[in-house]
A and B are shown apart, each in its own frame.
Chain A
Amino acid sequence: MAVPLALVDCNNFYASCERVFQPGLRGQPVVVLSNNDGCVIARSNEAKALGVEMGAPWHLHKDRFARTGIIVRSSNYTLYGDMSARVMRTLGGFTPDLEIYSIDEAFLGLAGFEDRLEAHARDLRATVLQWTGIPVSVGIAPTKTLAKAANRMAKKDPAPGGVALLLTAAAQEAALARMELTDLWGVARRTAEKLTALGITTPLQLRQADPQFLRERLSIVMARMVHELRGTPCLGLEEVTPDRKSIVASRSFGRPVTLPAEMAEAVAAYASRAAEKMRRQQLATANLVVFVETNRFRPGDPQHCANQSVQLPVATADTGKLIAAALRGLATIWRAGFSYKKAGVMFLDLVPAADVQGGLFDATDSPARQRLMGTVDRLNARYGRDTVSFARSGRRRAWKLRSAHHSPRYTTAWDELLTVRDTRRDQSPPPSVPPHFHGRNDEDHRQ
């Protein structure tokens, strides 16, 4: 029997992050806009129900949103990256075998929990919600592809309470029967068309297809998909379809890392790998998060876990620049004397690489420009985005990015914390002042 795998996925992640600190947004239609307030990159369920489409350009829909009461937030990647780190850290307490897949999704290997998978999953869900405020859905199955299908079920149907298990052939077939090919992970429209041309129109048919046949006619990827649908795991983490919102490269170390040079090497390697994945999709990024963590399952060891967000003035897909940024972030969180067990690099806010052309600097930066860039990056990383900005820009009209609906960086900036004031309710004065009351009034002072 294969090791049960869980896919844990945050519900409406960006909107949920905003709601933790702004509970008034709960139950409301909320959209999150991309960098420069360009287009919609996230929607709460209520906004989806109102027909807001992913990618809708903001300037075209501004008035409509205002009229229909849709609340708008500019993307707050610093917050989202930090909240993601918290969710992942929490998940790490539920298994030693955690694979972070994207900013809001992770796979957990649940060996040893076979007799109580559902209870464990419900405990996990409740714990993540309590500790971080983020609601998640959990799908459990013998393979990643089926776990993704289970997760989708858990998310769409409120009845199972956020947890769905597809452990038996009957359950798996019943679930697949309710899905379209394009609902399957890694099957986009074009692949679905090719499958349909071969006579496969539903996920159930795909499961029953001959893997060898598909391997010859399509690709080994599809052959693997058949095995995965049947419950035979064959996807390594590197082989899963990369997420569109974020790209993560992260691994636990075989042996603990204690030297800064070793950690720098690992982080550079992860940044490099993530950059490759990003370039394959012709994307670039200006926002990344570096994280490090000691082995929590050795509580006798001194513990340290930290994450650092780094912002670049210009989105890039250049491995060199990304490694440099990741290392700068690492330098702020690395501490000597700790045995680190895990590290990772995550790229957020992925933008089409083509949109970054015409930026201030091109690929062949002169050394002087590179030093300048380095300084700018350090300042912006330390003091916040746009601390240092440029008078001119390339394609974008103004260097300073539009970000009119930005919520505070509640978890990374001391001067942007959630502020707790006196409420109307607790300010109503008591009906009468008791005789022994020693307030700061004039009578007392005159005594």
Chain B
Amino acid sequence: MIKRSSHGGARQGAGRKGGPSEVVRLPLPVANLARRLKSGVLRAGDINGFLDVETRTSIAVPLMTSTAACGFPSPADDYLDRPLDFNELLVQNPAATFAVRIAGESMTGAGLFPGDVAVVDRSLTPVNGSIVLALIDGEFTIKRYCLVDGGIVLLAENPRFMNIEISAEVGLEVWGVVKHAIRML
């Protein structure tokens, strides 16, 4: 007679926990992800976990900022049915475009009169002949930026006003380039 013994056999509560399981081969990143899921650090819906797992075989092309946001649509595009948009006309780079009020007369020869709104783009680099909003000794001024004999001169466009030669003593900071003047008649 075989006596049913209480010895031997599995210990109470032994065995793999958590229900049925199977052995699977996984790529290492996916295995790590699964491990994190199990440990509770990562929740199933957490998008961050998947950032590690994607194998990148393609290289992302970095997006440069030189032709920045919100600019003119391409001429090839057919958007003739939209109303004229003055923002498009006047603002190439909204993040860097500011409006300032002209209250001086030093640039009347260039068409900038007191009361005008000057549209200033900080993202542009001045070139010879640019009209700039500049800081001279901490004061704002609008002048034409000219390169002369290797140096910079800020020209007034009104004979009553002086040009400003930039040197080590007269420091120049260009705040932005004036692209348009708007005048309410």
Contact = CB atoms under 8 A, between A and B. Distances in A.
A232 B51 CA distance: 11
Contact of A86 (B96, B106, B118, B139): B96
B31 interface: no
Contact of B138 (A24, A109, A293): A24
B62 A303 contact: no
Contacts of A294: 70
A215 B184 CA distance: 66
Nearest to A95: B63
Contacts of B64: 93
Interface residues of B, number: 64
Nearest to B61: A112
A305 B36 CA distance: 40
A299 B88 CA distance: 13
B164 A426 contact: yes
B15 to A, nearest CB: 22
A212 B40 CA distance: 9
Contacts of B68: 90, 93, 296
Contacts of B77: 300, 302
A2 interface: yes
Contacts of A24: 138
Contact of B71 (A23, A227, A299, A426): A299
Given A426-B164, A427-B161, A429-B160, A93 B69 contact: yes
Interface in B22-43: 36, 39-42
A391 B181 CA distance: 42
A418 interface: yes
Interface residues of A, number: 68
Given A92-B69, A93-B69, A94-B65, A420 B140 contact: yes
Contacts of A384: none
Interface stretch (B3-11, B129-137, B145-153): B129-137
Contacts of B62: 112-113, 120
A131 B177 CA distance: 11
Contact of B65 (A93, A220, A421, A425): A93
Contact of A337 (B49, B82, B141, B142): B82
Given A112-B60, A430-B162, A421 B104 contact: yes
Given A23-B135, A89-B94, A223-B41, A2 B52 contact: yes
Interface in A42-67: none
Interface of A: 1-3, 23-24, 85-87, 89-90, 92-96, 109, 111-113, 120, 127, 130-133, 211-212, 215, 220, 223-224, 227, 232-236, 293-294, 296-297, 299-305, 337, 410-411, 414, 417-430, 437, 439
Given A132-B95, A420-B104, 4 more contacts: A95-B63, A130-B96, A220-B40, A421-B104
